[in-house]
Homo-oligomer: A and B are copies of this chain.
């Protein structure tokens, strides 16, 4: 390990000025003689001086750090947002600190504690729970926070979400319009907020069409491909199986795809399928999958912008932006077979 490097003191000494003057010259604030300033800068350059952000932060109170706590960084949805956030925040010289909650409230609490102790300037969070969130409430009072994908009760901060209910509603409408009445739902337990909203969309659409809710058509699973496979198999091993399936996120859609294939059920001949959240794979399968797409490219940049505005001192009530979804019709839905 070499020594930590050149400090302001070294620069000041080498340039024959005080540390204060050196600081002024390098950060160009206050009054500094042109000549002095230039000299200091040259010296700094030649010594390879770089400001120590930690020391700066100790004074100013904060590091140029923004925390990002998604449910899972491996989920393409959150990875995409991570990418967009980073791009936006980098423009303002902020760094992104990423820590996945793994959809676990306890872990989320720990992570937030940890981020707080690092004196982050802002936070972008996809809360794991819609209700167990007192830790978020208190944090959001201290640190500018933007919630994405899901909102959390009682937390007063900006949020960026999509119209989960509307999207689900539209998907079910579409299936019904294609003649389906026994429509299965593969839903997620952990992402409570979105799962709940999408469930409402499902229920409301069925109700609007006068179709009674049948609990045996709803299967709950964690949001992983593996778990979704099992849940799908359970659903379709029942005597009076659904003719169509709606899955609430892309991982579950993939699981359903695999499960249906393994059961020898063909899409869309035996079963129609619509998934929430578009994904690469959806266009690679045969047939391609009909999905409810979220405007994913807008979520990250907007969240970043809202946060930056708050960091700039913008006051005012919490803003909730809710993007509409869009049904992308591809080839995974057909009329149900006569029995």
Contacts and interface: CB of A to CB of B under 8 A. Distances in A.
A308 interface: no
B99 A97 contact: no
A189 interface: no
A54 B284 contact: no
A74 B76 contact: yes
B83 A73 contact: yes
A127 B310 CA distance: 35
A96 B95 contact: no
Contacts of A53: 117-119
Contacts of A55: 58
A295 B309 CA distance: 43
Interface in A104-118: 113-118
Interface string A273-286: 00000001101111
Interface string A38-68: 0000000000001111110110010111000
A134 to B, nearest CB: 13
Given A52-B119, A74-B79, A79-B79, 5 more contacts: A4-B61, A50-B117, A73-B83, A74-B83, A97-B98
5 closest A-B pairs by beta carbon, nearest first, are A98-B98, A53-B117, A79-B79, A54-B57, A54-B119
